[in-house]
Amino acid sequence: MSNEAILHDQHFGTHDAPHAHEHHDHESFITKYVFSQDHKMISKQFLTTGIIWAIIGGLFSVIFRLQLGYPDSTFPWLQDLLGHWAKGGKLDPEFYYSLVTMHGTILVFFVLTAGLSGTFANFLIPLQIGARDMASPFLNMLSYWFFFTASMVMLSSLFVQTGPASGGWTIYPPLSALGEASEGSKIGMDLWLVSMALFIVSTLLGGLNYISTILNMRTKGMSMTRMPLTIWALFFTAILGVLSFPVLLSGAILLLFDRNLGTSFYLSDIVINGKILPNEGGSPILFQHLFWFLGHPEVYIIVLPAMGMVSEIMAINSRKPIFGYMAMVGSLFAITSLAFLVWAHHMFVSGLNPFLGSFFVLLTLLIAVPSAIKVFNWLTTLWRGNIRFTPGMLFAIGFVSMFISGGLTGIFLGNSALDIHLHDTYFIVAHFHIVMGVAGFFGMFAGLYHWFPKMYGRYMNNTLAYIHFWVTLIGAYLIFWPMHYEGLAGMPRRYYDFSSWESFKMFAGLNEFISFVSIIVFAAQLLFVVNFFYSIFKGRKVTTQNPWGATSLEWTTPIRPGHGNWLGEIPEVYRWPYDYGKDGRDFIPQTEPVGEHESKH
C-alpha cells in the first residue's frame, strides 16, 4: 500500500461538493447545534460560551472594584447575590481573593484563549485557506466539549461551600497546595486544577487540528506565503499552545499530588497554625518555573490571534496592501520563538539567581524588536490609506493604540532592577490589562464586528457599535492609566482594603474614580452583548457576497455557507490576499489569475 493511496483516501481536495452538500439537509437539531462537527458551528459554540464567561468574569471585577472604590460602603444587594460571602453587604476578604482569582482565570483562559482562538481559529482557518472543514471535525467537536466540561467544573467551584480557588490566577504553592492555608485552597482549588487539566486537553485537540489543517489542507495555489496574516497568527498560536500547555499540565498534576497524596514536590519546611508539616525537600520556585513556562507563552496565545485579525482588518479597511507582509510573518515567528525563552522575567524577585536573571532581561527586551516591527507596519498600512472607519476597523486601530501603550510599560518591567520596585504593584496590573487584556478584547471585537456578516449572514448595529467602541476605548484608558501612578507609588496589587494604609490613603479618590468608570465600561460591554444577540436574529441582512470588498477566500462562499463551505469546487488561489488598490482596481480577489500585464507587488 503506497503512501499516495492513503493520502488520496483522505477527504481533502477530493471530497467533492455534491456529498458535502447533501448531508447537511437531513441534520437533526442535535447534530446541527449541539454535537456539531461543522467548524463554523463549533466556532459559534466557543464564542457563545466565551461571551457568557466574559460576562461572569467581568461582573466579578465590578464586584471587587466596588470594594476597592468604596471600602466604607455596604451594598445590601451583594448579600442577596453572594449570601455568606457578603454578610451585611460587605465583601468577605476571603471571597475578595476568590473573585480576583476567578476573574483572572476566567478572562485569561476561558475568554481570551478558548473564546478568542477557539472562535476565530475554527471559523477562519478552513474558510481562509480553502478547506471544507477542519482536518478532523470529530476531534474538533471533542475539543469544544472538553472546553465545555472544563467550564462546568470551573463553574461548579463557584457554588461549593468553601468557595472557588483564591490563591491568584497563578496559584502559587504553598498557599494553593495546602487546604489548611485558606478557604479557597480547599475543594475549590482541586476543582480549579481538574478544570484546567480538561481545558488543556481541549486546547491540545484544538491546536493539533489547527496545525494539521493549515499545513495539509490548503487549497490549490494557497502557498504558505499566500495565506492571510490571520492564518499565520493562528498557526503560531496553535504551536505555542501545543508546546507550552503540556508543561502546565505537568505542574498541575504535581500540585494535585501534593494536595492529595502527601508528596513534597513544592513543599518544604512549612509550619501552619503552629503545626510542623512533614513535607521536605520540595521547591515552590519549581512550580513557578513550570507555571510560567506556559504562563508567558499564554500571553502571546492571547495576543497573536488579535494581531493577525487586526492586520487583516486594517489592510481591508485602508484599501491598501498590508505593509511588510514578510516582516509581519517574520516578527510573528520571532515573537513565537522568544515566547519560550523569557518566562523567568515573572520571577525576578522569587530568589532567582540575578546572573541568570540578566539573560532573561536581555531576551525579554529583545521582544520589543518584533513588536515594534509590527506596530510600525500597522501604522504604515494606515498611512495615506483610504480608511473606512467601520466598527471592526476602529477596534483594530484601538488595538494598536493599546498595544503601544501597554507595550511601552513592558520595557520598564522587563528590567530586573526596576522590577524590584514595580513587581506586584498596580503598575503591573495596568501593564498586562492594557497590553493583553484590553488589547486582546479589542482584537476579538474587531474580528467579531468584521466577520459577523460571514458568521450569521447579518450585520451588527453600527450606532451601538460606535458607542461600544468609544466608551470602551476611553473607559479602558481612564481605568488603567491612573493605575500606573498608583503602582509607581508602590501600591500593591491583590490587597483588600487600602484605607488603613497611610501611604495609600491619598489614592482613595482615584480608586473610587477607577471603580466608577469600570462600572460604566462593563455596562457598555452589555450593550455589545445585546447588539450581538439581537443582530443574530434581527440584524440587517447581508445581501452581497463580499460586503467589505475583501480579497480572501471566505468571501467567495455563499452568504450563509452550509457544511462544506463552497457549493461547487473549492476555488483555486493565484495571488496573495493583499491586492488592494492595485493597477487602478480597488481590490483583486485571491481567486483571480494574475493578468499578463499586471504589475508585481
Partner 1 sequence: METVAVQPKTKLWTGGRSPFNVSYGKLMMWYFLMSDAFTFGAFLISYGTIRFSQNFWADPNHVFNAFPFAGHTNLPLAFVSIMTFILILSSVTMVLAVHAGHNMDRKGVEKYMVFTILGGLAFLSCQAWEWTHLITGDHQVLVNGAIQHWGTTTTHNPWGHEVMFNGTEVATPGPIAFGGYFFGITGFHGFHVFSGVVINSVMLIKTRLRHFEERGHYEMIEKAGLYWHFVDLVWVFVFLCFYLI
Contact flag: residue 290 with partner 1 (CB under 8 A):
yes
Task: Name which position in 44, 103, 218, 346 contacts partner 1 (CB under 8 A).
Answer: 218
Q: Which residues, 6+ apart, have CB-to-CB distance to 587 below 8 Å?
A: 319, 549, 550, 551, 579, 580, 581
What is the closest distance, in whole angstroms, from the C-beta atom of residue 154 to partner 1 in the complex?
Answer: 22
| Whole-number Å distance between alpha carbons of 228 and 312 | 7
DSSP string, 394-435: HHHHHHHHHHHHHHHHHHHHTSHHHHHHHTTBHHHHHHHIII
| Maximal CA-CA distance, the chain | 84
| Whole-number Å distance between alpha carbons of 450 and 417 | 43
Contact flag: residue 1 with partner 1 (CB under 8 A):
yes
Contact flag: residue 408 with partner 1 (CB under 8 A):
no
Residue 268 Rama label (left phi>0; alpha psi -120 to 50; beta): beta
CB of 256 closer than 8 Å to CB of 165 = no
Residues numbered 91 to 150 that lie near partner 1 (CB under 8 A) are 129-130, 135-136, 139
Contact flag: residue 521 with partner 1 (CB under 8 A):
no
Task: Name which position in 88, 278, 568, 584 contacts partner 1 (CB under 8 A).
Answer: 278
Contact flag: residue 208 with partner 1 (CB under 8 A):
yes
Contact flag: residue 59 with partner 1 (CB under 8 A):
no
Amino acid found at 174: P
Contact flag: residue 13 with partner 1 (CB under 8 A):
yes
The residue among 72, 46, 78 whose CA lies nearest residue 60 is 78
Could you tell me how many residues of this chain bind partner 1 (CB under 8 A)? Answer: 62
Residues numbered 243 to 272 that lie near partner 1 (CB under 8 A) are 243-247, 249-251, 253-254, 257, 261-265
If the CB atoms of residues 159 and 359 are measured against partner 1, the closer one turns out to be 359
Contact flag: residue 350 with partner 1 (CB under 8 A):
no
Taking CB atoms within 8 Å and a gap of at least 24, the contacts of 452-457 are 452/532, 452/535, 452/539, 453/542, 453/547, 453/548, 454/123, 454/127, 454/554, 454/555, 454/557, 455/40, 455/43, 455/44, 455/123, 456/535, 456/536, 456/539, 457/541, 457/542, 457/559, 457/560
DSSP string, 54-95: HHHHHHHHHHHHHHHH-TT---HHHHHHHGGGGGGG---HHH
What is the closest distance, in whole angstroms, from the C-beta atom of residue 208 to partner 1 in the complex?
Answer: 4
| Whole-number Å distance between alpha carbons of 131 and 482 | 47
If the CB atoms of residues 291 and 469 are measured against partner 1, the closer one turns out to be 291
Determine the interface stretch with partner 1 among 83-91, 223-231, 425-433, 534-542 (rule: CB under 8 A): 223-231
| Cell numbers that stand for 206 in this block | 484544538
Task: Name which position in 192, 293, 452, 532 contacts partner 1 (CB under 8 A).
Answer: 293
What is the closest distance, in whole angstroms, from the C-beta atom of residue 396 to partner 1 in the complex?
Answer: 27
The residue among 258, 244, 335, 256 whose CA lies nearest residue 291 is 244
What is the closest distance, in whole angstroms, from the C-beta atom of residue 197 to partner 1 in the complex?
Answer: 11
Task: Name which position in 48, 283, 401, 546 contacts partner 1 (CB under 8 A).
Answer: 283
Determine the interface stretch with partner 1 among 99-107, 241-249, 438-446, 528-536 (rule: CB under 8 A): 241-249
Amino acid found at 567: L
Task: Name which position in 17, 62, 158, 286 contacts partner 1 (CB under 8 A).
Answer: 286
If the CB atoms of residues 10 and 462 are measured against partner 1, the closer one turns out to be 10
Contact flag: residue 242 with partner 1 (CB under 8 A):
yes
Contact flag: residue 282 with partner 1 (CB under 8 A):
yes
The total number of residues written for the chain in this structure: 601
If the CB atoms of residues 183 and 258 are measured against partner 1, the closer one turns out to be 258
Query: In 3-state terms, what secondary structure has residue 586?
Result: strand
The residue among 134, 209, 131 whose CA lies nearest residue 553 is 131
If the CB atoms of residues 134 and 316 are measured against partner 1, the closer one turns out to be 134
Determine the interface stretch with partner 1 among 87-95, 211-219, 375-383, 425-433 (rule: CB under 8 A): 211-219
Upstream peptide bond of 284 is cis (omega within 30 degrees of 0): no
Task: Name which position in 22, 80, 269, 280 contacts partner 1 (CB under 8 A).
Answer: 280
Q: What is the DSSP letter of 166?
A: -
If the CB atoms of residues 290 and 524 are measured against partner 1, the closer one turns out to be 290
If the CB atoms of residues 112 and 294 are measured against partner 1, the closer one turns out to be 294
If the CB atoms of residues 7 and 526 are measured against partner 1, the closer one turns out to be 7
Q: Which residues bind partner 1 (CB under 8 A)?
A: 1-7, 9-10, 12-13, 129-130, 135-136, 139, 204, 207-209, 211-213, 215-224, 226, 242-247, 249-251, 253-254, 257, 261-265, 278-283, 286, 290, 293, 572-573
